[in-house]
Amino acid sequence: MREEVFTVSELNSFVRTRLENDPALMRVAVMGEVSGYKMYPGSGYHYFSLKDKKCVVSCVITRMNARRLRFLPQESMAVVLMGFVTLYEPQGKYQLSVTDVLPVGAGDLEAEFERLRAKLEAEGLFDPAHKKPLPRYPERVAVVTSGSGAVIHDIIRTLGKRWPAAKILLLPVLVQGEAAPGEIVRAIRYANRWKVADVMIVGRGGGSREDLWAFNDEGVARAIYASEIPVISAVGHRPDVTIADYVADMTAHTPTDAAEIAGPNAADLLVGLRQNDVRLRQAMGNRLDMLSRRLEELKMRPVLRDPAATLAVKRQELDLLASRLCGAMEMENARKRRGYTELAAKLDALSPLKVLSRGYSITEKDGVPLRRAEDARPGDRIDITLTGGSLGCVVEEVRING
């Protein structure tokens, strides 16, 4: 059997495809020391190696990923790199494409974060179809955060300026430490049990990954997912990402952003109302102008200018129609009378009484007309009807014509 022959390009392309589609290599965390770090301004790409005591692996950070990183690695820095394995085809060299950089010591937390993220994603807790829409004009906003931090003050100040119609309910909880996840879960459940708000903000201010870890707790994630009240996650600052952000119905970069998301800007609404008021007044003015012109047109019509004259004309028309109707009725009655007279003459001509007046008679036996002589017998009683009366007779003789 002849083996398939690859070109070098085909082989490298095949291997790259295999590497980039291997689930075990699509997101990996690798710890080591940065070596040979270089950045090329033209492309914006960063190239370096990550080494330990025995081996070395080539690494690359693309321009786009470099912009998203919280910090860039430096020469001889011990780091944990997050990324995926790929192959640089022109040189046939595999490398790690870096998507995140963490200081050494964060590797265990990152591994736990990725494990929980993958688990909850597989269960569908991040599914966009489950996300609930935020109310457009909330009357009550619950805030699950520390009662003594700056977060609640920022939210009160921001929401008070933007949407003062909303009442803010603080559900104070610990936001870091071992007891924090339990308190956050209980606050979320309390808000849902008693329906205390139309929307809920869950979060805290910035801090280290360890400080934010309560919002990477599985119990907190499931409580947010089960909440019937829409939840806005507002944990840390713009670069920070927690499991709560994935599960929440809406994610805010900061608590201040959460307050802006939670309610509309009353000033914008006021501008919109004023614009609508102007448009409504213009529309009403146009409508009134049109109706005024219509009214003037109606006023110029003869029927409204001189109703009596119009009625006089209509009376004349009515009299003419009545005269025509009477004439037509008389003509029709005359025609009917002529017809009745003709029918009466025809009926009179066909009447038996008319025949009797000319000297004829009608002979009956037992009420049945006698048509032939042989129908009678001597001694039969018969009735003879003449003009002006009838005769009761007895047959004496029956004579039948030869």
Round to whole Å and give the CA distance between 83 and 19: 13
Q: Which residue has the tokens 């009608």?
A: 362
Say which amino acid occupies 260: E
Residues 202 and 242: beta-carbon distance below 8 Å: no
Closest residue by Cα to residue 80 from 92, 70, 90, 88: 70
**Lowest mean pLDDT: which of 150-154, 165-169, 206-210, 362-366?**
206-210
Handedness of CA 18, 22, 26, 31 (dihedral sign): negative
Give the pair of three-digit tokens for residue 239.
Answer: 């670069």
pLDDT bin (cut points 50, 70, 90) of residue 1 is very low
Ramachandran region, residue 363 (left: φ > 0; alpha: ψ -120 to 50; beta: rest):
beta
Give the pLDDT mean for 233-258.
Answer: 91
Give the pair of three-digit tokens for residue 313.
Answer: 């004309």
Residues 230 and 247: beta-carbon distance below 8 Å: no
Q: What is the pLDDT of residues 155-196, one digit of tens each?
A: 999 999 999 999 999 999 999 988 999 999 999 999 999 999
Question: How many helices and strands, by DSSP H and E, does the chain display?
Answer: 12, 14
Give the pair of three-digit tokens for residue 304.
Answer: 């409204």
Is the per-residue pLDDT at 382 higher than 90? no
Residues 106 and 209: beta-carbon distance below 8 Å: yes
Ramachandran region, residue 379 (left: φ > 0; alpha: ψ -120 to 50; beta: rest):
left
- Give every CB contact of residue 26 below 8 A, 6+ residues apart in sequence: 20, 84
Round to whole Å and give the CA distance between 68 and 16: 25
Is the per-residue pLDDT at 402 higher than 90? no
Closest residue by Cα to residue 180 from 213, 156, 137, 205: 213
Closest residue by Cα to residue 152 from 136, 175, 182: 175
Give the pLDDT mean for 368-385.
Answer: 85
Q: What does pLDDT average to over the chain?
A: 89
Q: 323: part of which helix (H) or strand (E)?
A: helix 307-349
Give the pLDDT mean for 228-243.
Answer: 90
pTM: 0.52
Residues 224 and 247: beta-carbon distance below 8 Å: yes
Alpha helices in 212-301 (DSSP H): 218-226, 243-247, 255-262, 266-299
Closest residue by Cα to residue 132 from 200, 217, 41: 200
Give the pLDDT mean for 49-60.
Answer: 93
Give the pLDDT mean for 224-233.
Answer: 97
* Residue 42, φ and ψ in degrees, nearest 5: -60, -50
Q: What is the pLDDT of residue 86?
A: 93
Distance of CA 96 to the CA centre of its chain: 46
* Residue 232, φ and ψ in degrees, nearest 5: -105, 120
DSSP label at residue 306: -
Round to whole Å and give the CA distance between 83 and 25: 9
CB atoms within 10 A of CB 238: 11
Partners of residue 393 on adjacent β-strands: 382
Handedness of CA 371, 373, 377, 382 (dihedral sign): positive
Round to whole Å and give the CA distance between 215 and 177: 11
